Amino acid sequence: MPQYLTVAHLIAQLQTVDPNLRVRLAVNPDWAFAHYIGTDVVVHDGIAYLAEDGQDSYLPSAVRDELAWA
């Protein structure tokens, strides 16, 4: 996956999973958390921004391991 993800790359990745799954944003601070993704998409200066919409819970350890954030 490229460092500078494009909308096309994101769509291609999401097409490989069940469209009925809930979506969370994984954030990697000292303690990894899962965050809700907001419904707004704002385009500014050629970049599409997805809004964070609050913290859900700690990121499951299996997800942290898969992302190599241990």
Rg (CA), the chain: 13
3-state secondary structure (DSSP) of residue 67 = coil
Does residue 8 lie in a domain region? no
Q: Which of 64, 62, 54, 53 is nearest to 26 (CA)?
A: 64
pLDDT in tens, 14-38: 899 988 988 888 887 677 889 999 8
Report pTM: 0.72
Residue pair 1/10 in contact by the 8 Å Cβ criterion: no
Name the token pair of 9: 């790359």
16 within some domain: no
Reduced to 3 states (helix: H, G, I; strand: E, B; else coil), residue 14 is: helix
Q: Is residue 52 part of a domain?
A: yes
When divided into structural domains, the chain yields a total of 1
Which pLDDT score is estimated for 1?
47
Angle at 60 (CA atoms; ends 18, 36), nearest 5 degrees: 60
